[in-house]
Amino acid sequence: MKDVVAIDLGGTNIRAARVGQDGKIQARDKIETRAAEGFEKVVARMAELVGKVRGPQTCGIGLGTPGTPDPVTGVMHSAAVNIPDSAGFPLCPRLSERTGLPAAADNDANLHALGESWQGAGRGEAVVLMLTLGTGIGGGLVIGGQVYHGVSNSTEIGHICVDLNGRPCACGCIGCFEAHASANAAARDAREAVQAAGKKGKESLLYKKCGGDLEKLTAQALCDAAREGDTLANLCLDRTCDYLAAGTGSLINALNPSCVIYGGGLALAGPILFDRVRARLGKNRAYQPIWKASKLVEAKLGDDAGLIGAARLAFEKAGIPV
């Protein structure tokens, strides 16, 4: 059985795994990214990591990175955050030169979606839409086992508009999905709700769970307080789920996926979040004939989704069936 090396380029660490044609991880390791040293040094560290995990049957490399690599040439169209001189850098050619293996790269969010489509919650589904609910909202669309890139190799699911008069987003737009429905947005809204409620806010579980320091109030604490029956927490979570359903429903209507997957920190809330979003989608937040052909599920692969997706990409590049 052939295998490939899958790489996940993170801001703190570079993770790598040797993955077989069956999608199973055979070995793994990691190394510090040291992004400030520049992309050339980062690629050298990737090559070092490849040398540690590759085996005699290794036939290629798949790489997930922030920014936008060209899916054909492997050259970076847009910069990888926090890595100097990354825009325009020939990422895959350099990595191939250093390792002697063919390399393919894609945006990390796309590869999370591809991994879940191949071996995770979307396995066997024709059209998979994945949303990663964390600091922002990332995601990817996989159609027939292939990542959809669009004409400029970039899709920004987190920046569809869910509120015409909503909050300003860091991207420069108004009312973006991630400005209202990400884990960070949920925590921010909960902090504001506690402050606005005055004395009642200080009596809520939200206030108690952060020890009175609202800057420490997280989306996880919000979900925990809601699960324990706190009234203010449930009102806040309802609002977050309103926005989640609005954005998800619009995407379902436009893309007609057979499966929608939520991953990321906020998705770890489980039924208290999923049940509310499903109820809204089934009521009036999605076109019902389309919604009835779809489903909303939780991601299965966790942090390994990007590695599994990178492996799938590498096998495709090498022409190896999986």
pLDDT band at 85 (very low <50, low <70, confident <90, very high): confident
By C-alpha distance, which of 223, 299, 289 is closest to 256? 289
The confidence score (pLDDT) of residue 154 equals 82
H/E run at residue 314: helix 305-318
pTM, 2 dp: 0.95
Asked if residue 132 and residue 38 are part of one domain, the reply reads: no
Asked if residue 136 and residue 285 are part of one domain, the reply reads: yes
> Per-residue pLDDT for 152 more than 90?
no
Asked if residue 204 and residue 185 are part of one domain, the reply reads: yes
> Per-residue pLDDT for 208 more than 90?
yes
Asked if residue 27 and residue 127 are part of one domain, the reply reads: no
Asked if residue 307 and residue 252 are part of one domain, the reply reads: no
By C-alpha distance, which of 102, 115, 10 is closest to 54? 102
The residue-averaged pLDDT of 108-121 equals 97
**CB atoms near residue 31 (< 10 Å):** 15
Domain range for residue 55? 3-114+303-318
pLDDT tens figures, 158-187:
999 999 999 999 999 999 999 999 999 999
Asked if residue 149 and residue 7 are part of one domain, the reply reads: no
Q: Which long-range contacts (CB under 8 A, 24 or more apart) does 204-212 make?
A: 204/230, 204/231, 204/232, 204/233, 205/230, 205/232, 205/233, 206/230, 206/232, 206/233, 206/236
The residue-averaged pLDDT of 36-51 equals 96
Q: 284-320: buried (b, 16+ CB within 10 Å) or exposed (e) per residue?
A: ebbeeeebeebebbbbbbeebbbbbbbbbbbbbbbee
The confidence score (pLDDT) of residue 316 equals 96
> Per-residue pLDDT for 81 more than 80?
no
Asked if residue 166 and residue 19 are part of one domain, the reply reads: no
Query: What is d(CA 62, CA 46) in angstroms, rounded to the nearest whole number?
Result: 11
Asked if residue 284 and residue 177 are part of one domain, the reply reads: yes
Asked if residue 40 and residue 173 are part of one domain, the reply reads: no
CATH number reported for the structural domain that contains residue 67 in this entry: 3.30.420.40
Asked if residue 249 and residue 152 are part of one domain, the reply reads: yes
Count of domains observed in the chain: 2
Asked if residue 273 and residue 307 are part of one domain, the reply reads: no
The residue-averaged pLDDT of 117-140 equals 97
Asked if residue 87 and residue 165 are part of one domain, the reply reads: no
The residue-averaged pLDDT of 26-52 equals 96
The residue-averaged pLDDT of 209-223 equals 97
Query: Which of the two residues, 154 and 233, has the higher pLDDT score?
Result: 233
The confidence score (pLDDT) of residue 130 equals 98
Mean of all residue pLDDT scores within the chain: 96
